[in-house]
A and B are shown apart, each in its own frame.
Chain A
Amino acid sequence: MDRQSRDNEWSELMRASIAGDGAAYKRLLADLSRTLRATVRRGFAGVGVSPNDVEDVVQEVVLAIHTKRHTWDQTKPIGPWVMAIARNKLIDDLRRRGRRTEVSIDGMLDVLEAGGQDDAIHASDLRRVLANLNDRQRDIVQAVAVDGHTAKDVAERLGMTEVAVRVALHRCLKTLAQTYQDKPVHETPIQKSPLQETIK
């Protein structure tokens, strides 16, 4: 698929998502995260980071796409918007590591290699956020995240209202966004075997 038609497809999916289509949103985010993984890996070329670090940035970008999706102008192609967000987050991350801050996005969109192998990687930041939630909140997030339940299902299972479940999820995402913002400068990368990590 060339850049143009992929862009059209993403734009189409994002329009449907904003209109409330969850299935389209899931497909879009899965698709974007695969492309972004390649993009981020390329942005880190020569920096020497672990796959965890790459995945942290991928997740940070995906979260920013989510919280800022109302800043996409629906009449414009979505590719440059996505890449601008990725570029900002990459620069932030490199700056925190005290690295060069010039990231070229030329050709970033042309990267089509899929990072399917790394889908199993557990990133560190999100795990840390989860560790700080209370049991109820963590149950909710886990049920949605790992088991793929809808907010409605979770509400029924835990005997809560759907609104309360949604609020808890939204709050968790806000905490996560804040965690990214507050990340210390010159953070030493955490070296752990990704496979040993669990969601807890």
Chain B
Amino acid sequence: MKTDDLINVLVADNATVEPPVSRTLVLALLAGASVAAVLFAVMMGPRSDFAWSIVNSPRFIFKFVLTLGLAIPAYIIVQRMARPEAKAGRTIWLLALVPLMLAAAVLLEMYVLPSDHWSVYMIGSNAKYCVSFIPLFAMAPLAGALLALRRGAPSNPTAAGAFAGLLAAGIGATLYASHCVDDSPLFIAVWYTIAVAMITGLGAFLGSRLLRW
């Protein structure tokens, strides 16, 4: 069949154009985040002193600086990587700020805490919950992001999947952080990092399988 013949068929199929991929991504993420939020509200909900802590506790506030600092740049990157010609771009430096801030906070925490307290704060009281609930709350946002990316045309499926994982982990961690009473950067640096890495890895794996086009 000649290319001109194919073009005739494509022109006849012109009415099937999908909505812009950026809109699909926003809707899919809203849906995914809503599912996660409902799950969160039913299973645990924010901790009882949430309102007080969000104003008065620097450690508590800092958790959201980190989790949103992950989710927002990751969203910008995912949104870009849904298009074939786009790359992660300079936004990746914003993402790199998260581990840098965390490292600085860890050093500060070690400075203000006596050294025999370090391990207590690091192990915390909820480590097991942390590494299971963050991934759980990240599932629906990850599914949403991957479905939207399937509608897109990422040139690098593995990287797109990994950033979708980071984005989903950022959403899951934001929800979980509002419940968890372990606020020390020492705790975050260990357990949140493990949870985020798991979801990012899962995103990369699924991306390499599902996002080819």
Contact = CB atoms under 8 A, between A and B. Distances in A.
Interface of A: 17-18, 20, 22, 25-26, 29-30, 33, 37, 55, 58-59, 62-64, 66-74, 80-81, 83-85, 87-88, 119-123, 126-127, 130, 141, 144-146, 148, 150-151, 166, 169-170, 172-173, 181, 199
B212 A181 contact: yes
B13 A59 contact: no
A169 B12 contact: yes
Interface residues of B, number: 32
Nearest to A26: B11
Contacts of A20: 14-15
Nearest to A72: B83
A123 B6 CA distance: 10
Most-contacted residue by chain B among A37, A55, A71 (CB, 10 A): A71
Interface string B1-45: 111111111111111111111100000000000000000000000
Contact of B9 (A33, A67, A144): A144
B153 A71 contact: yes
3 A-B pairs with the lowest CB-CB distances in the bound complex, closest first: A145-B5, A84-B85, A84-B84
Given A64-B153, A81-B83, A85-B153, A70 B20 contact: yes
A83 B5 CA distance: 22
30 contacts: A20-B14, A22-B12, A25-B14, A26-B8, A33-B7, A59-B3, A59-B6, A66-B10, A66-B13, A68-B84, A68-B153, A70-B18, A70-B20, A70-B151, A71-B21, A71-B151, A71-B152, A71-B153, A72-B83, A83-B85, A84-B85, A88-B84, A119-B4, A123-B3, A145-B1, A145-B8, A146-B5, A146-B8, A151-B12, A173-B13
B6 A145 contact: yes
Contact of A121 (B2, B8, B82): B2
A148 B16 CA distance: 19
Q: Is the interface of A mostly helix, strand, loop or mixed?
A: helix
B93 interface: no
B6 A126 contact: yes
A150 B8 CA distance: 9
Contacts of A141: 9
B3 A33 contact: yes
